[in-house]
Amino acid sequence: MDKPVVIAVAITGSVPRKADNPALPVTVAEQIESTHEAYEAGASLAHIHVRNDDESPSSDPERFAAVQEGLRRHCPGLIVQFSTGGRGRDPSARGLPLMHRPDMASLSTGSVNFPTIVYENHTSLVTDLAARMREFGVRPEIEIFDLSHLHGAKRLVEAGLMDARPHVQFVMGVQNAMPAEAHLLDILLAELRRLLPQATWTAAGIGRNQATVMEWALARGADAVRTGLEDNIRVTKDRLAASNAELVRLAAEALARHGGRPATPAEARAALSLPA
């Protein structure tokens, strides 16, 4: 039987604009519709950012809540994951949407250089976000931009702020951060297995690295893959992606090449230690 693999779709992010790809979902209604199409194509986890009316990044808890409400109505069983990422967002506001109790939320455990800014995640902020996730019953997805961030995750486990089976995502190909190189993924994966042997894992490739990193992850037995317009707005150098659903369909084809298939929402929840 084909191995079920979670397909996570990062639908919007903080950086792309409609001027970059008109298919980018920005409004609440667009985000619900785009995610529903991706769900129908095989996605079982949606990573959510919200935007202000001018397309700038937002931490508005009510916008997050409205997207979540729509997804729970139209996409039964879909894992809803809020972003607590910091690009363009006030650090003090990044955890506010957690009160709406999404299934999961992203959690970066250290700072790193991005193309034009330092993506700052001070230890006190990381601890506060982890504590809020624990308070509201939100499972973290640990975002790893550097080897030291794995040790930051381990410290959260030791402090009792999360259990020993987090879901971990290696982010590769961000300019000025960790390059998309296969031997670096091997190093990271070996350290993950040493520090947090019960963790599930995935890897995200940014921009043109998306498909390549997905292939590396699948070849190494990843529990999940990530795709979506947040990370990559193109299918080829010369063609924009038509939708998040198109990128999910390409991910499903990659799974098939490696003897896998898209996990159902129930299978995805079981794999990531979430209630049915």
Q: Are 76 and 107 spatial neighbours (Cβ–Cβ below 8 Å)?
A: no
What's the average model confidence in pLDDT over 106-132? 96
- DSSP code per residue over 60-105: -HHHHHHHHHHHHHHSTTPEEEE----TTS-GGGTTGGGGG--SEE
User: Residue 152 is inside which H or E element, if any?
Assistant: helix 147-158
Determine the Cα–Cα distance for residues 150 and 146; give it in Å rounded to an integer: 8
Does pTM surpass 0.95?
yes
- Which tokens go with 84? 């607590």
Give the confidence band of 1 by pLDDT, cuts at 50, 70, 90. low
> Is the model's pLDDT at 142 over the cut of 90?
yes
pLDDT tens for 40-74 read 999 999 999 999 999 999 999 999 999 999 999 99
Determine the Cα–Cα distance for residues 270 and 227; give it in Å rounded to an integer: 21
The predicted structure's pLDDT at residue 76: 98
Strands (E), the chain: 3-10, 45-48, 50-51, 57-58, 79-82, 104-108, 112-113, 118-119, 139-144, 167-172, 200-205, 224-227, 234-236, 239-240, 260-262
Determine the Cα–Cα distance for residues 165 and 142; give it in Å rounded to an integer: 11
